[in-house]
Structure 1
């Protein structure tokens, strides 16, 4: 909701009220992925002046298609986001291509942008997501999202029944190898940096029951022919030596998740350690421990898929709409 302002006018197409010259918004949404755009859509439809700050670097950019989102299965992520940007524009939501580099809290939230501009908001949605830190194996980063994959729910159907390799990198690698065996019965777990003693007896029994082969030794790199993976090469006995090649078509990895929580930390939000990094403590709507600050999407957890992120943005926006309404009513009543 807006305070009384002589410069305020109503858009004849959307009904949204705007203050053209002011840098003050009802809500600033940091992050223009599924969570941020979903929040912005609901906020715009609620006639709240909203700005989306989008650095234009979505986590799923390496993927050619996204799967598992009802009615959008198989759509390219870039197309999905482009449609979202078109939709929020219909309701007067503004979008700026920039990064939020700092934020301070006073009467409003002051969000400093990389381009030198500072915008102010009564409420803040942090939908900055996370970045995937990949194992440093030659070929992995270059082919990530193509035939180097991390999520079988996202890509398993498309590579079903192909020979899979799983690159061991931590205690969850055995679980990943077991999970992907749902999509292929030809799965090999390459221990790589995972020590054999890190696998429990139950891990080994489950892997054997699932038909997953376990290969010790460090992976030296991927074998690529005609722009597709044909195998994994192990390191040789001598330094720099070439070891044996195991033929396969797909490699699954478990990236190290690095949450983008700098803005939340700057505001003093409480974070909680998880196996996938430290994420903000939030309630059911995404409200953090900082009054007036919501988080949504992968900013709240590693496992949030696109459909979850969109839902989280929606929930945050509805909560913010009610929160601002009550704040305005209480201010008018002098409460």
Structure 2
């Protein structure tokens, strides 16, 4: 998008991941004019494969997105590369969507599917291996590291839960206390499941032939592992929403804050902002690819229904005055 445009769309979708593309596909098939503006920075870009998506298990995330873009285009929808920097509410209630390159388009409705950013623990070398052998979700990666030695980095109160969960895939689980203090009860729970606890702060990763083989400790020791499990903080990419005056909310699990998310109706994706919906990880951070895509379809149907309702009201007004 390299110029100021005065195009007008029924719906502009901000974000071209699984949720955004699924929503755009549904809207295009509903004969809506739809534009997807995608920054090209999907959350799962570091992963070579995705799992748990029926019919697509083991496929490349990039391949899925390429197919999705083609399908959207096949029904008349558009997908453009760009970074949305601001959205203005116009006097008539519609939106002016502005991009970093100076381009702008109008939208009757807005579907925000910008996803989230995984904020990782500050351990040297960890971020470079994220999505490869530094992992978070066992349903995404557990099968691939089954029966191998893995370590869980304790950075918060959910570390024990993580260790217990990953124990389902391997009997060789070590919990690294790192900067977290474990209670006596937590230690007993871990011991009951055969999870070893290693004290000491983790200072780096041990890598051989581009594969993780262990982690190094502050005292000079090394703990063997083929995968390192971490708990990132889920930070919603919600700049578009906050720019319109909608603050993000804290995401909690078991009473502990694990990130931020956009507050929206779980069934329809509708936000407190009239004309604005969300889908995917920006509003549901724990959603996997399949769930995000399904939510994109569901939210798109709600957006279309809202447009139909508006069009019916306008048609009735014209009919009565004819």
User: Contact conserved, 1:270 with 1:289, CA < 8 A, in 2?
Assistant: no
Does residue 94 (structure 1) correspond to residue 82 (structure 2)? The answer is no
Does residue 177 (structure 1) correspond to residue 163 (structure 2)? The answer is yes
Deviation at 1:277? 2.2
User: Which residue of 259, 284, 303 maps to 1:277?
Assistant: 259
Deviation at 1:125? 0.3
Deviation at 1:299? 0.7
Could you say what the CA RMSD is over the residues aligned between the two structures, in angstroms?
Answer: 1.3
Secondary structure of the residue aligned to 1:60 is: coil
Deviation at 1:255? 1.2
Separation (CA, whole Å) in 2 of partners of 1:111 and 1:269:
16
**Pairs within 5 Å for 1:184-199:** 184-194=170-180, 196=181, 199=182
User: Contact conserved, 2:236 with 2:262, CA < 8 A, in 1?
Assistant: no
**Pairs within 5 Å for 1:106-145:** 106=90, 107=92, 108-145=94-131
Deviation at 1:270? 5.1
Separation (CA, whole Å) in 1 of partners of 2:268 and 2:158:
29
> Which residue does the alignment assign to 2:254?
none
User: Contact conserved, 2:27 with 2:34, CA < 8 A, in 1?
Assistant: yes
> Which residue does the alignment assign to 1:154?
140
User: Contact conserved, 2:234 with 2:260, CA < 8 A, in 1?
Assistant: no
User: Contact conserved, 2:117 with 2:234, CA < 8 A, in 1?
Assistant: yes
Separation (CA, whole Å) in 2 of partners of 1:180 and 1:302:
20
> Which residue does the alignment assign to 2:187?
204
Deviation at 1:294? 0.4
Secondary structure of the residue aligned to 1:146 is: coil
Alignment TM-score, normalising by the size of structure 1: 0.89
Q: Give the gaps of 5 or more residues in structure 1.
A: 1-20, 237-242
> Which residue does the alignment assign to 1:3?
none
> Which residue does the alignment assign to 1:252?
229
Deviation at 1:232? 1.1
Secondary structure of the residue aligned to 1:308 is: helix
Separation (CA, whole Å) in 2 of partners of 1:155 and 1:86:
28
> Which residue does the alignment assign to 2:15?
31
**Pairs within 5 Å for 1:210-229:** 210-229=193-212
User: Contact conserved, 2:235 with 2:261, CA < 8 A, in 1?
Assistant: no
> Which residue does the alignment assign to 2:242?
265
CA distance 1:277–1:248, change in 2 (3 Å):
closer
Greater Cα shift, 275-284 or 92-101: 275-284
Does residue 306 (structure 1) correspond to residue 283 (structure 2)? The answer is no
Secondary structure of the residue aligned to 2:9 is: strand
Deviation at 1:257? 1.4
Q: Give the gaps of 5 or more residues in structure 2.
A: 252-256
> Which residue does the alignment assign to 2:59?
75
Secondary structure of the residue aligned to 1:177 is: helix
Secondary structure of the residue aligned to 1:276 is: strand
User: Contact conserved, 1:296 with 1:316, CA < 8 A, in 2?
Assistant: yes
User: Contact conserved, 1:149 with 1:253, CA < 8 A, in 2?
Assistant: yes
Render the CA deviation track for 1:70-125: whole Å, top value 9, x for unaligned.
Answer: 11100010001000001000011111100110011122111111110111100000
Render the CA deviation track for 1:115-146: whole Å, top value 9, x for unaligned.
Answer: 10111100000000001111121221111111
User: Contact conserved, 1:276 with 1:302, CA < 8 A, in 2?
Assistant: no
Greater Cα shift, 118-127 or 169-178: 169-178
What is the total number of aligned residue pairs between the two structures? Answer: 306
Separation (CA, whole Å) in 2 of partners of 1:289 and 1:111:
19
Secondary structure of the residue aligned to 1:37 is: helix
Deviation at 1:296? 0.4
Does residue 42 (structure 1) correspond to residue 26 (structure 2)? The answer is yes
